[in-house]
Chain A
Amino acid sequence: MSNSIIFCDAGLTAENLRVIIGEKCSLVRDITLGQYVPEKSLIHRMDARAKILLLLMILVFIFVCRNFISLVTISLFSLVIILMTRISIVKYLKSLKAVFVIVIFTGILNLFYGSGDVLWQWQFLKITWGGINNAIFTAVRISVMVMVSSVLTYTTSPTDLTDGLERIMKPLKIFRVRVHEIAMMMTIALRFIPVLLEETDKIMNAQKARGADMENGNILRRVKALVPVLIPLLVSSFRRAGDLAMAMECRCYNGGKGRTRMKIMHFSLTDLFAAIISFLIFGAVIYFNMAYPDVV
């Protein structure tokens, strides 16, 4: 009896004790960002700049497609790329999970926009062959777009990605865009995501050990329960930022002025081949677009 009184006094319930004893909350640990999957494939070895530019063009051409033949062409091309990365296709399908609702929603919406023979009608809603075609077309289009975008994040390390972006954006300097600063911020942000996640984990456990309840109650209560986590996190991030700034100054950081790089990016033959093949596919898409009737 007296024991339980002491525990209650200190705000230690059975559940909080479990946290202290070591049942770690892995809520934040599971989140992965950047999602880079190291493998040794041709796609991995490609120059980040080539990957970014070609991906952008593939995305544009997925939208250019106006009939099933051109869409199938570019979808097959995307599938070949995906297979070439040697990353399990399941991982790509998982990337679809986030946009699943959007795919279904736009698909259903498109179902009712179409002309042709009416198959089913209820007041103003009617489903036609054209509508079914539209729905499938949009669903495939969005799915392929999302999956092919994952190729970039799965096969390029975050540093290569920011480096590539910095170099691609370099011409924007004419318009006084501070390219180096933006790239530096991205690098630091990517570097500190895991650090801050770990810290969030620690603070949550510390607050739970003091009797904070974060799992029960309605959404409003749970959001409120996050305040004692976010405030220490904010304060400590400022402290970290101060430290980091000092460490960077100690290492002669002076903005982008006169800065050289250890890794210099080279376009290789692989990149050239990739570009040639992509352009052939793009050409085919345009040809099929003109040669066959539109779906939409």
Chain B
Amino acid sequence: MEDFIRVENVCFQYDENDKNSSYALDNISLSIKKGEFVAVVGHNGSGKSTLSKHFNAIYVPTFGDVIIGGMNTKDDDRIFDIRKKVGLVLQNPDNQIVAGIVEEDVAFGCENSGFPQKKIRERVDCALKAVGMYEYRTHSPDKLSGGQKQRVAIAGIIAMEPECIVLDEPTAMLDPQGRDEVIGTVMRLNKEMGITIILITHYMEEAVLADRVIVMDSGKILTDGIPRKVFSEVGLLKKHRLDVPQATELIYRLKNCGYELPECVLNEEECVQAIAALIKG
């Protein structure tokens, strides 16, 4: 499959005039294929949020290029085409809902793109059903829970029918139930509608669900690969002050104590099976 997003030797400085300021992104290159579900992890200040804002031309690289479906984000004339292809969902659901009624907020993006009225209606209904918020379409956003608000924000992006959705820590401000709702929705969009997902997160339990995990540290890519490979390097992740899922860590420590266990487990179920096998064995 062709590369949908290509990031080529990107460096980014928040203050270009200050020669001494450090780079938030330091020579990053990566490519993402259509339909992939990529998780980007890293601790605070690792540059993962900065990277997420490069995918739809909110930030433009100081050096290097970001190419989205053949369009360079530096090209001012294509900015709106790029933003129609790549949607960005932010951390705080309250700050990204514009209108006082759910369905009108979802329609906001389509209205800006100048679609005819009937098409907007169709897309809004379709997007609200996709995130399971159709019954709430006439409600006011203030009455919704955090998880529901975040799903409305996602619907607002889906209504524009993007090929890729970038989510910048969408679950950081939610309770566990809201987190499950949002991640479940995101996974469904990826599997059923084939939308490329780039999920920025610091919850390793979420990163495990992705097809591919990119670990960032101080503006550089530390490792990049399938979750099973990335989380097998517990030592490396620990060295860079990163967590691993609890199940992974438990097995890792038991192995260090000399028990015979599989190379890497990612969730509780695998962990239980591994330990059960060990006890029986």
* A interface with B by C-beta (< 8 Å): 157-159, 187-188, 190-191, 194-195, 198, 240, 243-244, 246-254, 258-264
Chain B residue numbers with a CB within 8 Å of A198 are 142
Residue of B nearest to A255 (CB): B112
Inter-chain contacts of A159 with B (CB < 8 A): 99-101, 104
Across chains A and B, which 7 residue pairs bring their CB atoms closest together, nearest first? A247-B96, A251-B109, A243-B95, A262-B107, A258-B114, A194-B142, A262-B120
Question: With A240-B94, A252-B112, A252-B113 in contact, do A263 and B104 touch (Cβ < 8 Å)?
Answer: yes
Could you say which of A157, A187, A250, A264 contacts B58, with CB atoms under 8 Å apart? A250
Known: A250-B88, A260-B120. A187 touches B107 (CB 8 A): no
In the complex, are the beta carbons of A262 and B90 less than 8 A apart? no
Is B244's CB within 8 Å of the partner chain A? no
Chain A residues within 8 Å of B116, by CB = 260
B104 touches A252 (CB 8 A): no
Binary interface encoding of chain B residues 50-61 relative to chain A, with 1 for a CB under 8 A from any of its CBs, else 0? 000100101000
Once A195-B94, A246-B58 are accepted as A-B contacts, the answer to whether A262 and B100 lie under 8 Å apart by CB is: no
What's the Cα separation between A249 and B95 when bound, in Å?
13
**With an 8 A cutoff between CB atoms, is B29 at the interface?**
no
Is B87 part of the contact surface with A, judged by Cβ < 8 Å? yes
Given contacts A243-B92, A260-B116, contact A248 B100 (CB under 8 A): no
Question: With A and B bound together, what is the CA distance between A195 and B90 in angstroms?
Answer: 17
Task: Evaluate contact between A191 and B100: CB separation under 8 angstroms.
Answer: yes
7 example contacts (A-B, Cβ-Cβ < 8 A) are as follows A158-B100, A187-B99, A247-B96, A250-B58, A251-B160, A260-B116, A262-B107
Taking a contact as CB atoms under 8 Å apart, the answer to whether B96 and A244 are in contact is yes
B 136-160 to A, binary, CB cutoff 8 A, 1 in contact else 0: 0000111000000000010011001
Is B213 on the interface with A (CB-CB < 8 A)? no
Is residue B121 within 8 Å, beta carbon to beta carbon, of the partner chain?
A: yes
Q: Which residue of B lies closest to A258 (CB)?
A: B114
Choose among B88, B99, B104, B111 the residue that contacts A259 (Cβ–Cβ < 8 A): B111
Once bound together, how far apart are the Cα atoms of A187 and B115, in whole Å? Answer: 21
Which residue of B53, B96, B117 is within 8 Å of A260 (Cβ)? B117
Residues of B within 8 A of A194 (CB): 140, 142
A195, A240, A262 — most chain B CB neighbours (10 Å): A262
**B169: chain A residues within 8 A (beta carbon):** none
| Given A190-B100, A246-B58, A254-B112, 12 extra CB contacts under 8 A | A157-B100, A187-B98, A247-B96, A247-B98, A250-B83, A250-B87, A252-B80, A258-B114, A259-B112, A260-B116, A262-B103, A262-B104
Q: How far in angstroms is the closest Cβ of chain A from B148?
A: 15
Classify chain B's interface size. 35 or more
Number of A-B contacts (CB under 8 A): 98
Q: B112 contacts A261, CB within 8 Å?
A: no
Complex Cα spacing A158 to B58, Å: 31
In the assembled complex, the Cα of A250 lies from the Cα of B97 at a distance in Å of 12
Contact residues in B for A248 (Cβ distance below 8 Å): 98, 108
CB–CB A240/B109 < 8 A: no
**Are A157 and B114 interface neighbours, CB within 8 A?**
no
In whole angstroms, what is the CA distance A240 to B153 when docked? 15
Q: How far is the CB of A39 from chain B (nearest CB, A)?
A: 14
| Shortest distance between the CB of B150 and any CB in chain A (Å) | 12
Kindly state the separation between the CA atoms of A158 and B120 in the bound complex, as whole angstroms. Answer: 21
Assess the B83–A157 pair: CB atoms within 8 A.
no
Min CB–CB distance B114 → chain A (angstroms): 4
CA distance A160 to B99 in the complex (A): 11
Residues of B within 8 A of A157 (CB): 100-101
A246, A247, A260: which contacts B111 (Cβ < 8 A)?
Answer: A260
Q: Within the complex, which residue of B80, B98, B110 is in contact with A262, where a contact is CB–CB below 8 Å? A: B110
- Is B84 engaged at the interface, CB distance under 8 Å to the other chain? yes
Contact B95 A251 (CB under 8 A): no
Enumerate B63-105 residues with CB–CB distance to A below 8 Å: 80, 83-84, 87-88, 90, 92, 94-101, 103-104
Q: Which residue, of B101, B141, B160, has the highest number of chain A Cβ atoms within 10 A?
A: B101
* Minimal beta-carbon separation of B167 from chain A (angstroms): 12
Q: Are A262 and B83 in contact (CB under 8 A)?
A: no
The residues of A that contact B95 with a CB separation of less than 8 Å are 240, 243-244, 247
Instruction: Determine the chain A residues whose CB is within 8 A of the CB of B92 once the complex forms.
Output: 240, 243
Residues on A with C-beta less than 8 A from B114 are: 258-260
Q: How far is the CA of A259 from the CA of B109 in the complex (A)?
A: 10
Determine if A262 and B96 form an interchain contact, defined as CB atoms under 8 angstroms apart. Answer: no
Distance, CA A188 to CA B104, complexed state (A): 12
A246, A248, A250: most-surrounded residue (chain B CB, <10 A): A250
Q: Is B124 an interface residue (CB 8 A)?
A: yes
Tell me the bound Cα distance from A195 to B83 in angstroms. Answer: 27
B142 surroundings in chain A (CB, below 8 A): 194-195, 198
Chain B 114-128 per-residue mask, 1 if CB under 8 angstroms from chain A, else 0: 111100110010000
CA distance A187 to B99 in the complex (A): 6
Q: How far is the CA of A240 from the CA of B96 in the complex (A)?
A: 9
In the complex, what residues of A have CB within 8 A of residue B103's CB?
A: 262
Q: Which residues of A contact B157 (CB under 8 A)?
A: 250-251
CA distance A65 to B53 in the complex (A): 62
Do A261 and B80 touch across chains, with their CB atoms under 8 A apart? no
Counting chain B CB atoms within 10 Å of each CB, which of A194, A244, A252 scores highest? Answer: A252
For residue B124, which residues in chain A have a CB less than 8 angstroms away from its CB? 262
B100 in complex: contacting residue of A187, A243, A249, A253, CB < 8 Å: A187
